[in-house]
Chains A and B, each alone.
Chain A
């Protein structure tokens, strides 16, 4: 049902022209669409009922994100709901946090996650932004980079160092900072894939102690968990992107004629088209694997290892499918007016969102050398029979 409704939303409301107009608008997405998401229950779908959600899992997120990928949807579902919302759901400790989550689910509050810094690249345990105690408050100095949709977000979830050295795993905390708080400045920009991001600077930003999410000084496992949910959602978006590129390219191979025949009759291009399909199928399979690891959410190590594996395969497959989609289209693939190039650009930026293949390969190795076999086929069967396979 959720698949039908999100597919319908994308088919009806997300033509390429409509999407291009949104990407050019001041905000970069549509508040009206966001209200639609809230009205259809999508913003709370994966959160527990006790927290005001609808009790779904990462499977529902996956279904939504795949459709969003197919439509190249711009609304900030991952930063606001999957990252920001998960930080509140997993790390919220006060009734004020609960209320924020409720407002997020109702569509009245936008969040984003600010974890990357100029010196950290993809590594969440490297945090130079400092929060020092001052009476009952914390005072924060530092900065974050490439924060998605920060200009539109009401509140940021920010990783800060409350103790220790820059690259220590201990001493990291997650803190809520309002966009308009004194001492917050932003440099906003449109990203190369048509989305929005900001670099943030914090100069003596003062927040109360209850702005801390989760345990003080021990925020890294919470942050890693939140990032893993983000990785799962991005993997599903990538499946949507790849599916669009694969289908569009295949259709082009069947209709474009050169030398008096459809170019899809040439074996060199056929084998490329087959390899695109194979990469898409491998990517979809690992996406299920990663999603199941989130549904299970056993120990952090197993979960993170599975999601790193997911990102490695997604990035590898996505790069291949995207590059071939451009190549097999020939000149038209290079045209700004043609949709495929925009999917390619989104895929290329998604590759590095929350860590690229090199980062996650190293993380996977670090997290252990035991075989990644045997996951959860029982749950997978349900998933396949639910029609998403």
Chain B
């Protein structure tokens, strides 16, 4: 199906493929293939190799280290990473806080933080949700009080992915309690080595430790760590979420999950033949694969619109809903394919299923995404 790529695009694909096969550590690739968790070092090493090639931040403007790739090239790149079983770059720095800093930060912030993201010197995490502020994120209570040239921050952020590896956290905190809730929020960058920051692990139903609670007690942060204007944090947060949603759809990653599923279904036997060859199973798998194909074209349409100048808008909510539903459908088939083997944690099949229940909850639950589409696209 390669025929309508231009010769340059096919050469680019070969270049990416060669790079991955030369640079991706075999142990990392093996872990990806088996569905094992990576260590921090493994992420850092891989991101370092991407960065050395200039490919860590394809979406950034070229002057900050972006690649100036076309939509097609980005698509090829993502697809080759997935096909080559390479890990995703950790999104919190490159794909989440960096676009906010680039769009709304000042020159000093850009000069300081962007190179440190590229070098993986900083590992970012996202301080958004609180116990009382989930879907209703704007009701968050973390309080940043101005004290001279510092903010003093108090509050507890939760569901924070890979905070145990992070040294930096971007925090949504309330800086004004006298205005409507969306207008009193600011976007503040916090060094996690500052006194008063503690991280507590949260173990999820799959037995893994991915997420954490981050407690902030009288944490003193210099005012220059405010991004943009005080009280505009909600606008920046929504901007970030729209970037995040396109990423969390993980279309290329879902093709990777699908390969993993096929491997699991090929290992299990039922009545003398592979589960993969069972007609009923094969049709369920085909159904998901077809929907994923449709979604990958939807994402291309969205990227094409973006490359024509439109910023990712509410349609990223649609990509998020469908993308996560597909991830869940694939992981549901993993536990189904497992049969009795699913009982054994070593097979991972049930772990994937349990773990991916998160996908329709994080980054704004799929119900919230539907509210967003109803309001902002359909005008209801």
Contact = CB atoms under 8 A, between A and B. Distances in A.
A282 B298 contact: yes
Among A284, A302, A376, residue most surrounded by chain B Cβ atoms (within 10 Å) = A376
Contacts of B378: 250, 264, 270, 273-274, 277
A274 B5 contact: no
B304 interface: yes
A377 B300 CA distance: 7
Contacts of B114: none
B282 A369 contact: yes
B329 to A, nearest CB: 13
Interface string A355-389: 00000011011000101111111111100110001
Given A312-B287, A384-B301, A274 B79 contact: no
B297 A286 contact: yes
A273 B301 contact: no
A288 interface: yes
Nearest to A366: B282
Given A365-B283, A374-B1, A289 B294 contact: yes
Contacts of B380: 250, 253-254, 264-265, 270, 273
B106 interface: no
Contact of B298 (A285, A361, A379): A285
Contacts of A273: 374, 378, 380
B62 interface: no
Nearest to B379: A254
B370 A288 contact: no
Given A273-B380, A285-B298, A365-B286, A389 B1 contact: no
A356 to B, nearest CB: 13
A153 interface: no
B243 to A, nearest CB: 20
Contacts, number: 147
A289 B276 CA distance: 26
Interface stretch (A15-23, A113-121, A217-225, A291-299): A291-299
Interface residues of A, number: 50
A389 B295 CA distance: 15
B343 interface: no
A245 interface: no
Interface string A262-293: 00110100110111011001111110110011
Contacts of A61: none
B107 interface: no
A372 B293 contact: yes
A286 B290 contact: yes
Among A306, A373, A376, A381, residue most surrounded by chain B Cβ atoms (within 10 Å) = A373
A265 B371 CA distance: 11
B322 interface: yes
A313 interface: yes
A384 B305 CA distance: 8
Interface in B297-318: 297-298, 300-301, 304-305, 308, 315, 318
Contact of B4 (A295, A361, A362): A295
Given A313-B290, A361-B283, A298 B304 contact: no
B13 to A, nearest CB: 9
Could you tell me the dominant secondary structure of chain B's interface residues?
Answer: helix
A6 interface: no
Contact of B287 (A271, A293, A361): A361
Given A298-B3, A369-B262, A377-B75, A385 B304 contact: yes
Contact of B255 (A270, A282, A371): A371
A64 B255 CA distance: 33
A271 B304 CA distance: 27
Nearest to B373: A274
Contacts of B71: 377, 381
A378 B287 contact: no
Contacts of A381: 71-72, 300, 304
B301 A376 contact: no
A295 B279 CA distance: 31
B321 interface: yes
A80 interface: no
Contacts of A271: 367, 370, 374
B297 A278 contact: no
Contacts of B294: 282-283, 285-286, 289, 313
Nearest to B290: A309
B4 A286 contact: no
B9 interface: yes
A267 B1 contact: no
A372 B290 contact: yes
A96 B295 CA distance: 45
B373 to A, nearest CB: 5
A4 to B, nearest CB: 20
Q: Closest 6 CB pairs between A and B?
A: A285-B297, A376-B4, A270-B374, A286-B294, A285-B298, A264-B380
16 contacts: A250-B378, A273-B378, A274-B370, A275-B370, A277-B377, A281-B318, A284-B298, A312-B290, A364-B286, A365-B282, A365-B283, A365-B286, A372-B289, A375-B293, A376-B4, A380-B301
Given A253-B380, A377-B71, A381-B71, 9 more contacts: A270-B380, A274-B373, A278-B318, A292-B4, A306-B1, A313-B294, A369-B262, A373-B255, A373-B296
Interface of A: 250, 253-254, 264-265, 267, 270-271, 273-275, 277-278, 281-286, 288-289, 292-293, 295-296, 298, 302, 306, 309, 312-313, 361-362, 364-365, 369, 371-381, 384-385, 389
